[in-house]
Amino acid sequence: MTWWQAAIILIAGIWSGAINSVVGSGTLVTFPVLVALGYPPLTATTSNAIGVAPGSISGVIGYRRELTGFWPQVARLSVASFFGAICGTILLLSLPTKAFESFLPVLVGLAVALVIIQPKVSRWIAKRREAKGVEDMDHQRITPLLLFLTFLIGIYGGYFTAAQGVLMLAVMGMMLSEPLQRLNGTRNVLSALVNVVAGTIYALNAPIDWAVVALLAVGSTFGGHLGARIGLKLKPAVLRGVIVVVGTGAMVHMVAR
């Protein structure tokens, strides 16, 4: 690894950490960067999952005040995400590498599409909360259906981490009448959990580039802290635009290969 490659990875890690805290889907920056630098897709995925985990945790710490009084519900959702992440990582490690690479353009395309529609999802959640009111107890409970959907999203996250937060936000918005920032904080917790679980399993069973992991860990931790501090004020349109451009470029590159 040259110094300029290390610098690019570090910057990508910072950007990813900030994006994950604010809008999610920072993996759609770091993953294409690693692939463009010549890392095999599987190694890029596994190293990325481990490297961005500290940044996800940093984002959780930044949003901890938004989750005051909601931690019991977060704990129940975390159980579903935990087991889903295990299933997703097993799926990734069990399938042939070529099968994973053939799925990648579709997964990246799906992730980019989810990022594009996220503003509409967020506005819909806000309008729904206003219409229902936070006192609507039928929408405060953690239902079996919500747990099941969280489990399925955990599987997706364990297999391919990008845009899992958008899915989480959409599902929770449909089934919980909570403030948007509280849902965003919950999304950070669940995404961090999936990344940590997947990263731990990858570290023991998959090809890892630890130099990449170290650079992403440092960058994403700083970026996650920065993103959490400005997340309540910053308009995420620019960050989202970067995700869409980079993700689309990665998808085109993988299809061309």
Total tally of structural domains belonging to the chain: 1
Whether residue 136 has pLDDT greater than 60: no
pLDDT at position 76 is 94
pLDDT at position 169 is 76
For residue 12, report the phi and psi dihedrals to the nearest 5 degrees: -60, -40
For 59-70, b/e burial (b = at least 16 CB within 10 A) is bbebbeebbeeb
What percent of the chain has a predicted confidence (pLDDT) above 70?
A: 73
Are the CB atoms for 199 and 47 separated by under 8 Å?
A: no
Whether residue 173 has pLDDT greater than 70: yes
pLDDT digits (tens, 9 = 90+) for 23-60: 666 777 788 888 889 888 888 888 888 888 777 777 67
Higher model confidence: residue 141 or residue 14? 14
pLDDT digits (tens, 9 = 90+) for 203-233: 888 889 999 999 998 988 888 777 666 655 5
Whether residue 140 has pLDDT greater than 60: no
Whether residue 4 has pLDDT greater than 80: yes
Are the CB atoms for 37 and 8 separated by under 8 Å?
A: yes
8-state DSSP, 69? T
pLDDT at position 241 is 67
pTM of the entire predicted model: 0.75
pLDDT at position 190 is 92
pLDDT at position 139 is 47
Range of the domain at 146: 3-256
